[in-house]
Amino acid sequence: MTVRLASQYQEFRAEFRRSEVKWAYILLLPAVLPLLVFTVLPVLGAIGLSFTRFDAFSATMQWIGSENYVEALRNDLFHITIRNTLQFTVGFVPLSMTVGFTAAMLLNRRFRGISFLRGAYYLPVLTSTIAMGIAWMWLFQPQVGLVSLGLKLLSIQPKDWLNSPFTAMPAVIGVAVWKAFGGTMLIYLAGLQGIPDTFYDAAKVDGAGRWQLLRYITWPLLRPVTFYLFIIGMIDSLQVFDLVMIMTEGGPAFRTTTIVHQIYLNAFKFNQMGYASAMAVVLFVAIAVLTIFNWKFFSSSLEY
């Protein structure tokens, strides 16, 4: 009798478990279905188009195998876009994280007006990139822009920031950092407020100063936050497009054109959908490989 009851109980548990799993899939379907339709299927479609010569206007498609990838790897302009994209990434990610962390440290305290300051620093994140890019184009205007006028007041000769091969990319990086550091600040601020005060109190009793508190308590406990911001910042910077399109259109002399900018031009201006898809696939693979590498390489540093 006992064995039979135990067997019936095990069967009931297995049936209940199958019912739970079935309802879990049913409840997840409304969230997963849009992901499949609007993300996974377009990615698979882009991979398929990358092996063809596709003219969207005449709807003609010719299978050409890996020719688009060979052309991309041989194209000097594609090499320039890779260099520019990496240059933007190397400049943007550390600067945005440094400025965001510094702002979070300064705003992680209580005084009158602190909420207003936090909101003001976060405001650029909410600003339309197009509107912000146009505004900064006027600010960088060499004759009447506020940046140039400020330099004139300091007796410094202003530059044509966005039309100079030497200053165009730094200008775009600076605007990108100004727009993004508010989000970095907010996440760092949440991480700082999640650190228990008892850690700092115990360290102060042992005679630790501000630098020791930052080096041995704050920074180690913020490693997961820093790692997350680094990965997200790297992914976003490798896909930079909107600021480049608005402020420089890839110029001057291709000094600010990026991979996504060239994908856009080849797809919608030159009507080379297959070649643009091949470039997109190369970018997708590069982002995936870099993300996995960073996760494997830095995962050990996340352990306290």
Task: Express each pLDDT in 132-181 by its tens digit.
Answer: 999 999 988 888 888 888 888 887 787 888 988 899 999 999 999 999 99
Q: Does 287 lie in the same domain as 144?
A: yes
pLDDT at 251: 86
Q: Which of 33, 49, 65 is the last residue of a domain?
A: 49
User: Can you give the CATH number for the domain in which 167 is found?
Assistant: 1.10.3720.10
Tokens 């520019």 belong to: 84
Residue 110 sits in the same domain as residue 158: yes
**CA-to-CA distance for 278 and 68, rounded, in angstroms?**
6
In angstroms, the CA 215 to CA 264 distance is: 44
pLDDT digits (tens, 9 = 90+) for 9-48: 566 566 667 777 787 788 888 888 888 888 888 888 889 9
User: What's the CA gap between 219 and 297, in Å, rounded?
Assistant: 19
User: What letter does residue 113 receive in the DSSP assignment?
Assistant: T
Residue 274 amino acid letter: G
Domain range for 36 is 2-49
Query: Do 145 and 37 sit in the same domain of this protein?
Result: no
> 23 and 82 in one domain?
no
Q: Is residue 118 located within the same domain as residue 10?
A: no
255 domain residue, yes or no: yes
Quote the pLDDT of residue 275: 93
Q: What is the mean pLDDT of residues 273-282?
A: 93
Q: How confident is the model at residue 301 (pLDDT cuts 50, 70, 90)?
A: low
Statement to judge: residues 127 and 92 lie in one domain = yes
Tens-place pLDDT, residues 176-212 = 999 999 999 999 999 999 988 898 888 888 888 888 9
Half-sphere exposure of 228 (CA within 13 A, CB side): 9
Residues 203 and 97 grouped into a single domain: yes
Instruction: Decide if 54 is inside a domain.
Output: no
**Residue 248: which of 301, 152, 172 has the closest Cα?**
172
Residue 86 and residue 21 in one domain: no
Average pLDDT over residues 270-280: 92
On the question of pLDDT at 122 being above 80, the answer is yes
Flag the least confident range among 40-44, 57-61, 264-268, 292-296.
Answer: 57-61
Residue 270 inside a domain? The answer is yes
Confidence of residue 117 (pLDDT cuts 50, 70, 90): confident
Q: Which of 47, 82, 49 is nearest to 64 (CA)?
A: 49
* Same domain, yes or no: 267 and 131: yes
| Residue 264, in any domain of the structure | yes
What pLDDT does 33 receive? 86
Say yes or no: 17 and 105 in one domain.
Answer: no
Same domain, 98 and 38: no
Q: Residue 22 falls within a domain, yes or no?
A: yes
Q: Spell out the alpha helix ranges (H) of the chain.
A: 2-35, 41-49, 67-74, 76-107, 114-126, 129-139, 146-153, 168-193, 197-205, 210-213, 219-221, 223-238, 242-247, 259-264, 273-298
213-226 pLDDT per residue, tens? 888 889 989 999 99
Q: Could you tell me if residue 135 is inside a domain? A: yes
Q: Of 161, 152, 162, give the one whose Cα is nearest residue 245.
A: 162
Q: pLDDT (tens digit, 9 = 90+) per residue, 65-79?
A: 889 999 998 999 999
Q: What is the mean pLDDT of residues 252-281?
A: 92
Tell me how many domains the chain contains: 2
pLDDT score of 104: 94
State mean pLDDT over 223-252. 92
Residues 42 and 82 in one domain: no
User: Is the confidence at residue 118, as pLDDT, over 70?
Assistant: yes
